[in-house]
Amino acid sequence: MALWTRRGLAGATAALGLSALPHRPARAQGKSITVTALGGIWEEAVRTCFAQPYEKATGNRAQVLIGSPTQWLAQIEANPARPPIDALVTIPDLAIAAVQKGLVERFTVEKTPNLVHTPEEFIAPLDGHGVLFDYGVAGFTFHKGRVKQPPKSFAEFVERTAKGEWQASLPGIGYAVTPIMLIWAMAKALGGGVDNVDPFFEAVRKMGRNVSFWNSPNDFENALASGDADIGIYFDGRTWAWSDSGASFAGFLNPSEGGSINAIAIQKPKNASEEAWPYLDIMLSAEAQLAFAKKLNYGVTNRLVVYPPGLAERITPWQQAAFPPYAEIAAKRAAWVDRWNREIRR
């Protein structure tokens, strides 16, 4: 993937790392902001990697709100003059919707100095009104005991599944990012793309009953552990976290065509507290992102991050993955869901 020209290089020498935050000019002290986090280990990571450093650096308080991106966007949209959230984490589809509705502010190097260390590929999808700050890659997760030679490409995966070499499990249409991690990614790998997903639907027909579908990560993990599935499409970070928790049989491989990048965006709602900017800047810093990556086994987007050897072997470099056209996929989502319900019906 060719690198785009990076904006803001002239301001690079002014960028501040996380360790410099306590030495910035004093901001208003003792204020409170509301930030968001997904549940489980995500909440723990947000508190320790972002909220605690922010509170130490500013004297402010970061209240962590647990929930879902859909819920948070609805709350912001319901009260744009006084949004109940100051710093938002969300999925690309909803981040793009927030931009289109004029609900979020543009990031600048002046407000978030660490922005200068973020590649343009993670800024451009939201037109600068937010940043993609971490990502997972959807590739092949397999049972190492039952799949001794995992497929190296989507094309090989389809052919060998069709022959009945294994039982495969794919994300179903009830899973939020299936249009990105499965429909678009497989269509692209097989010669189609966002404007032609016929190759994906043809592949599903070809694989037939050798494929089942999961609609929650727990369903996939249970199927792989029980023997109901031998291989499937799943995330690298989730696979490694599962392996560390005791599922040592789980392996992961990035397809040669590149699995899809499924990223998380950060945004600041319009009219939210200005005290959110230093929090968002911490989220973009190399120190905080490395701590976050160590907890979740997911890639991060600050180019200064250097993963330790064990972690580096697990994280798929984004240059070796497929970068989805998020806005175009969002526009096609409803049509793809409708076609799925008519043709796959599983």
The full set of domain ranges for the chain reads: 21-135+263-317, 136-260+323-343
Q: What is the pLDDT of residues 139-193, one digit of tens each?
A: 999 999 999 999 999 999 999 999 999 999 999 998 888 999 999 999 999 999 9
Residue 167, both tokens: 């039982």
Counting other chains too, the contacts that 143-150 makes at CB distance below 8 Å and 24 or more residues apart are: 143/224, 143/230, 143/231, 143/249, 143/250, 143/251, 144/249, 144/250, 144/251, 145/249, 146/227, 146/230, 147/230, 147/231, 147/251, 150/231, 150/251, 150/253
**Confidence category of residue 29, pLDDT binned at 50, 70, 90:** low
Same fold, 21-135+263-317 and 136-260+323-343: yes
For residue 322, is pLDDT > 80?
A: yes
pTM over the 0.85 mark: no
- Burial label, 228 (beta-carbon count in 10 A; 0-12, 13-18, 19+): middle
Q: What is the pLDDT of residues 59-77, one digit of tens each?
A: 999 999 999 899 999 999 9
**Confidence category of residue 12, pLDDT binned at 50, 70, 90:** very low
φ/ψ region of 83 (left if φ > 0, alpha if ψ in -120 to 50, else beta) reads beta
Domain with residues 136-260+323-343, CATH architecture: 3-Layer(aba) Sandwich (3.40)
For residue 11, is pLDDT > 50?
A: no
For residue 257, is pLDDT > 90?
A: yes
**Longest CA pairwise span in the chain (Å):** 65
How far apart are alpha carbons 43 and 169 in whole angstroms? 28
Mean pLDDT (the chain) is: 90
For residue 15, is pLDDT > 80?
A: no
Q: What is the pLDDT of residues 102-123, one digit of tens each?
A: 999 999 999 999 999 999 999 9
The confidence score (pLDDT) of residue 176 equals 82
CATH superfamily of the domain spanning 21-135+263-317: Periplasmic binding protein-like II (3.40.190.10)
For residue 4, is pLDDT > 80?
A: no
What is the percent of the chain where pLDDT is above 70? Answer: 92
